[in-house]
Amino acid sequence: MSKPKVVVLGAGYAGLVATRRLTQKLSADEAEIVLINKHNYHYESTWLHEVAAGTINPNQARFMLTDAVNPKRVRLIYDTVTEVNRDEQRVILDNSEVSYDYLVFALGFVSNTFGIPGMDEHAFAITDIDSSRHIAEHIEYQFAQYSTDENKNDDQLTILVGGGGFTGIEFVGELAEKVPELCQKYDIDRSKARIINVEAAPSILPVFDDDLVSYAKKALEDRGVEFRIGAPIKECTEEGFIVGDDKELIKAGTVVWTGGVTGNPVLAKSGYELFKGKVNVGPDLRPEGEENVFILGDCSWTLDQETGRPYPPTGQLATQEGAQVAENIAALINNQPIQDFVYSNKGTVASLGLSDGIGNVLNGNKLRGKSAAAMKKVVDDRSLFLVGGPKVLLKKGKFRPF
Ligand code: FAD
Ligand code: NAD
């Protein structure tokens, strides 16, 4: 009898951790393992706001897949998944097709603009290395062009960020580092460059207590970030955002949407029933009616059994799901019982630039300032270790002092 084929879609947090763990759990005689990813590298999605602001080099946030998995053990396919034919157990790629016995669906997130007119056309989004690098290049180009322009328009130096959730706030924190550097490089008066965050809700970062939110807001304001809170963006045009019921136009040279994410559209193309863009999975991370498919990370909703609410989509969750699914696939192949997924929340930290941050960590402890920033680097390095191993951590880790 031929050995079972396990196919993993996506080399992000969930997919890469699942692949690495599968190679530890199953010998080459027990299963064939295939990892399919758009690129030949993994990127740390959780570092993309830094790439987008230009505070880190894109190469620091990525590493080659061959640095993390042995290509003699795992068949690596660099191609784009377009659809999964679930009836025939085949994955359709741009350039070929691959059959599977077990499937791990971990294709991550895309930006969600909620149908806001003009947002897809006129705003940038932080979704992968290329889109993030493009934002950093665009911002620098605005400053360079302004510096040589005879008829200067100060709006060109405004950076508008739509959405004051984690991504939006961490991004403006990085911009507060980068903008003074760009002003110095291009001989521009710092007061001419504006960073504006626009948030519809009454507060930024609703996950945190009021005192941490106030700390974050003031820390960013002190470094030149402006906030428009309780200001829903109604439309995005070539010139900027149209905000609120009175349809005020805020003009900018750079417009970035960080107002939300949703699951990969390949889910819909593969015929899954979606809830807010993702698939509901059971406690074993399988969608209803499929014994050999696991949907992980930002592609699924996993319910917290205690509260009955889905866990927020995070790298932390995706990493833990990847590890559990590898255990369960190995168990299925060896005719052993499988275990339900149990999430272990290690806390939440948001950076506010290089040396500032806020966080809730284990035992309900709150962090702010340098201690939170240091904790964020520990979290980032731990994540790098889990997805890439010790060699990748040594090459790409965040060891710089601040
Ligand atoms: P991803 O890590 O996004 O991986 C998906 C993989 O699939 C990628 O390699 C992608 O290239 C590949 N792929 C996509 N489509 C295709 C296709 N059609 N064919 C082939 N390959 C494809 N979470 C935290 O816990 N902590 C944080 O500090 C944090 N910071 C964040 C900062 C930013 C700027 C953003 C945007 C998110 C952040 N998150 C954070 C959330 C976290 O990044 C996601 O929840 C996490 O990446 C989800 O992991 P995943 O494995 O589902 O998908
Ligand atoms: P989000 O959904 O968490 O936040 C989006 C924000 O945009 C919300 O505050 C929302 O009110 C606002 N918004 C939506 N529509 C708007 C409109 N029309 N006008 C103005 N504001 C609008 O999205 P995110 O920040 O991209 O985060 C996505 C996921 O990634 C979350 O689960 C988050 O926990 C995770 N993440 C975690 C970290 C971290 O742990 N440090 C960092 C980044 C992202």
Q: Which residues line ligand 1 (CB under 6 A)?
A: 10-15, 36-39, 42, 45-46, 48-49, 80-81, 106-109, 126, 128, 167, 264, 266, 297-298, 313-316, 318
Instruction: Kindly give the distance from the C-alpha atom of residue 39 to the centroid of ligand 2, in angstroms, as a whole number.
Output: 26
Give the position, in ligand 2's atom list, of the atom nearest the Cα of 168.
25
Please give the torsion angle defined by the CA atoms of residues 174, 180, 186 and 189, in that order, rounded to the nearest 10 degrees.
140
Instruction: Express each pLDDT in 99-123 by its tens digit.
Output: 999 999 999 999 999 999 999 999 9
Which protein residue has the closest C-alpha to ligand 2 atom 42?
Answer: 166
Instruction: Kindly give the distance from the C-alpha atom of residue 318 to the centroid of ligand 1, in angstroms, as a whole number.
Output: 9
Geometric angle at alpha carbon 372, from 370 and 373, rounded to 5°: 60
Contact 257, 163 (CB under 8 A): yes
Mutate to test the pocket of ligand 1, among 19, 42, 46, 111 (most ligand atoms within 8 A of CB): 46
Mean pLDDT computed over every residue of the chain = 96
**pTM over cut 0.95:** yes
Catalytic residue list contains 170: yes
Instruction: Kindly give the distance from the C-alpha atom of residue 227 to the centroid of ligand 2, in angstroms, as a whole number.
Output: 15
Give the position, in ligand 2's atom list, of the atom nearest the Cα of 201.
11
Asked if pLDDT for residue 281 goes beyond 80, the answer is yes
Mean pLDDT of 65-82: 98
pLDDT score at 1:
64
Instruction: Kindly give the distance from the C-alpha atom of residue 144 to the centroid of ligand 1, in angstroms, as a whole number.
Output: 31
Mean pLDDT of 78-85: 98
Percent of the chain with pLDDT over 70: 99
Q: Residue 218 — φ and ψ, nearest 5°? A: -65, -40
Mean pLDDT of 165-183: 98
Asked if pLDDT for residue 175 goes beyond 70, the answer is yes
> What residue ranges do the domains of the chain occupy?
5-38+79-111+261-345, 114-259+347-402
Mean pLDDT of 122-129: 98
Contact 15, 6 (CB under 8 A): no
Mean pLDDT of 320-334: 98
Mean pLDDT of 363-390: 94
Do domains 5-38+79-111+261-345 and 114-259+347-402 share one topology? The answer is yes
Asked if pLDDT for residue 21 goes beyond 80, the answer is yes
Instruction: Express each pLDDT in 246-260 by its tens digit.
Output: 999 999 999 999 999
Mean pLDDT of 125-151: 98
Q: Tell me which ligand sits closest to the C-alpha of residue 259.
A: 2
Interstrand relation of 240-243 and 233-236 (parallel, antiparallel or unpaired): antiparallel
Q: Residue 73 — φ and ψ, nearest 5°? A: -95, -35
Asked if pLDDT for residue 401 goes beyond 70, the answer is no
CB of 50 within 6 A of ligand 2: the answer is no
Spot the catalytic one: 44, 50, 170, 174. Answer: 170
Asked if pLDDT for residue 400 goes beyond 80, the answer is no
Architecture of domain 114-259+347-402: 3-Layer(bba) Sandwich (3.50)
pLDDT score at 402:
63
Q: Looking at the DSSP assignment, which residues form a beta bridge with residue 8?
A: 35, 104
Note every long-range contact of 285-289, with CB atoms under 8 Å and residues 24 or more positions apart, other chains counting: 285/321, 285/324, 285/325, 285/328, 285/341
CB of 260 within 6 A of ligand 2: the answer is yes
CB of 329 within 6 A of ligand 2: the answer is no
Mean pLDDT of 141-150: 97
Q: Tell me which ligand sits closest to the C-alpha of residue 44.
A: 1
Instruction: Express each pLDDT in 194-218 by its tens digit.
Output: 999 999 999 999 889 999 999 999 9
pLDDT score at 364:
78
CA distance 229 to 199: 5
Interstrand relation of 225-229 and 233-236 (parallel, antiparallel or unpaired): unpaired
CATH of 5-38+79-111+261-345, one of 2.120.10.30, 3.50.50.100, 2.20.28.10, 3.30.930.10: 3.50.50.100
Note every long-range contact of 125-129, with CB atoms under 8 Å and residues 24 or more positions apart, other chains counting: 125/256, 125/257, 125/258, 126/48, 126/49, 126/52, 126/167, 126/171, 126/256, 126/258, 127/48, 128/43, 128/45, 128/48, 129/39, 129/41, 129/43, 129/48, 129/51, 129/58, 129/61, 129/62
Q: Which residue has the higher pLDDT, 345 or 111?
A: 111
pLDDT score at 306:
86
Q: Tell me which ligand sits closest to the C-alpha of residue 250.
A: 2
Which protein residue has the closest C-alpha to ligand 2 atom 4?
Answer: 165
Asked if pLDDT for residue 130 goes beyond 80, the answer is yes
Instruction: Kindly give the distance from the C-alpha atom of residue 240 to the centroid of ligand 2, in angstroms, as a whole number.
Output: 20
Asked if pLDDT for residue 19 goes beyond 90, the answer is yes
Mean pLDDT of 214-230: 98
Band of residue 363 on the pLDDT scale cut at 50, 70, 90: confident
Mean pLDDT of 23-43: 98
Give residue 30's identity as a one-letter amino acid code: E
